[in-house]
């Protein structure tokens, strides 16, 4: 490379270079170390988000930073290059031209030279990854809202001020490596609710108490479980001593809206699967049960008009035969990590071999950008099939 040289020293000299032509390069007067500069390679779809500052870097000091748009999360990876990447400033950059007198008009007739101000050793690349939602579950599990708190504090705002281990939306954005949309989806999947400005998960036993009172009142007031009027349900539950926000939350956790265009109040329908799964979890919370005993109690607990079909418990329970008896125990997919390697490790720790019909409910929710479920199975499992008509069996790779 030439030393400092007179002539036009700008990026336009390179951009206007004709095919099969060449150009001399020289050090710019401001040439210096490249520690303060990193190149970022972007997909064209992300360019506008970056240019208009609709992205953010997220992560704690002990974590590898990720870049988040409104809806996606990207790992940031440095890619070194074997060739030198020269950075040449534009000619209209005043700070360069003021020092580089040879960019003045008197030298324009001389041979064009590209002035290199930095040499980049590589660039950063963005790779879409799954959000780190497991940390969200861990944070919210530190301090779930319980019936004891409900009895101790009548004012939710005062309650929140007196507790540690609580997180606002901004706290979660700062601590969880996920985009805003992914974070909201994670909160919804955990049935979290905002209480006094803090996001909380509600103790399952307490939510069960609220649900039991709702079902009790539905019998007393002759409510249809397919057409619950929100205002009426909330007012009755509040009179029973539950906070209004948790009364409404109960409808969101165990039901779905069927009409939100009513002039007065929304209509809700209790979801049969969610309600039945709740009572199955409640029965099995004390340990495994014989199948006959479980089914008898389960059918007795669920509301009239709902069907206790064993198929709806896929991904919630495991069965095993001991002697002549068939036993059932709780094993919920919601308790498993979202990271595929950790998920498969726990699954094969639970059972060394899985038939597909048993394994599928525990992995179908895994989502890794750029990888299919079949690809994850190839990576983490071995598939065996003794005969063509036999059920495939999966074991750890």
Both tokens assigned to 177:
């490596």
User: Rounded to an integer, what distance in angstroms lies between the CA atom of residue 62 and that of residue 16?
Assistant: 46
At 208-240, the pLDDT tens digits run 999 999 999 999 999 999 999 999 999 999 999
Express as a percent the part of the chain with pLDDT over 70: 88
Average pLDDT across the chain, whole number: 87
Segment 381-396 mean pLDDT: 90
Q: For residue 43, what pLDDT is reported? A: 87
- Torsion 125-130-134-136 (CA) sign: positive
Tokens, residue 342: 């950790």
Which of 362, 365, 290, 276 lies closest to 322 in space, CA to CA? Answer: 290
Q: Which structure tokens are listed for 107?
A: 């030298």
Angle at 64 between CA 59 and CA 67, to 5 degrees: 60
Is the pLDDT reported for residue 72 higher than 60? yes
User: What does the alpha-carbon distance between residue 277 and residue 281 come to, in Å, rounded to a whole number?
Assistant: 6
Query: How sure is the predictor about 38, in pLDDT bands with cuts at 50, 70 and 90?
Result: confident
The percentage of residues in the chain with a pLDDT greater than 90, rounded to a whole number, is: 64
**Architecture, CATH, for domain 302-396:** Alpha-Beta Complex (3.90)
Taking alpha carbons only, the member of 197, 182, 186 closest to residue 58 is: 182
Q: Report whether pLDDT(3) > 80.
A: no
Give the residue extent of every domain in the chain.
11-128, 133-202, 205-270, 302-396
Q: Is the pTM of this model over 0.85?
A: no
pLDDT reported for residue 110: 52
């Amino acid at each position: 490379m030439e030393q400092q040289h007179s002539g036009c020293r700008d990026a336009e000299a390179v951009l206007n270079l004709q095919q099969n032509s060449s150009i001399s390069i020289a050090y710019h007067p401001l040439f210096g170390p490249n520690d303060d500069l990193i190149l970022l390679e972007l997909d064209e779809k992300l360019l506008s988000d970056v240019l208009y500052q609709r992205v953010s870097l997220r992560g704690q000091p002990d974590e590898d930073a990720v870049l988040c748009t409104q809806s996606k999360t990207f790992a940031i990876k440095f890619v070194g290059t074997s060739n030198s990447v020269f950075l040449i400033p534009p000619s209209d950059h005043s700070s360069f031209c003021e020092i580089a007198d040879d960019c003045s008009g008197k030298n324009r007739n001389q041979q064009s030279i590209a002035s290199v101000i930095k040499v980049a050793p590589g660039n950063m690349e963005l790779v879409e990854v799954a959000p780190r939602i497991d940390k969200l579950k861990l944070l919210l599990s530190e301090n779930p809202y319980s019936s004891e708190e409900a009895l101790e504090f009548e004012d939710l705002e005062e309650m929140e001020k007196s507790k540690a281990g609580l997180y606002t939306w901004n706290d979660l954005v700062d601590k969880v490596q996920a985009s805003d949309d992914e974070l909201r989806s994670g909160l919804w999947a955990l049935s979290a609710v905002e209480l006094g400005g803090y996001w909380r998960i509600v103790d399952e036993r307490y939510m069960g108490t609220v649900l039991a009172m709702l079902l009790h009142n539905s019998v007393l007031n002759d409510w249809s479980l397919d057409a619950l009027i929100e205002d009426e349900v909330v007012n009755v539950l509040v009179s029973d001593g539950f906070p209004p926000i948790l009364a409404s939350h109960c409808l969101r956790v165990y039901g779905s809206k069927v009409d939100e265009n009513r002039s007065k109040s929304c209509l809700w329908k209790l979801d049969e699967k969610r309600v039945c799964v709740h009572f199955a979890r409640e029965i099995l919370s004390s340990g495994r049960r014989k199948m006959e005993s479980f089914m008898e109690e389960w059918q007795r607990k669920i509301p009239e008009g709902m069907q206790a079909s064993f198929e709806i418990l896929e991904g919630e329970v495991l069965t095993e035969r001991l002697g002549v008896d068939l036993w059932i125990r709780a094993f919920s997919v919601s308790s498993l990590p979202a990271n595929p390697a950790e998920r498969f490790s726990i699954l094969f720790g639970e059972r060394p071999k899985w038939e597909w019909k048993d394994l599928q409910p525990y992995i179908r929710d895994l989502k890794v950008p750029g990888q299919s479920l079949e690809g994850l199975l190839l990576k983490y499992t071995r598939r065996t099939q003794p005969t063509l008509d036999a059920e495939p069996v999966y074991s750890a790779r």
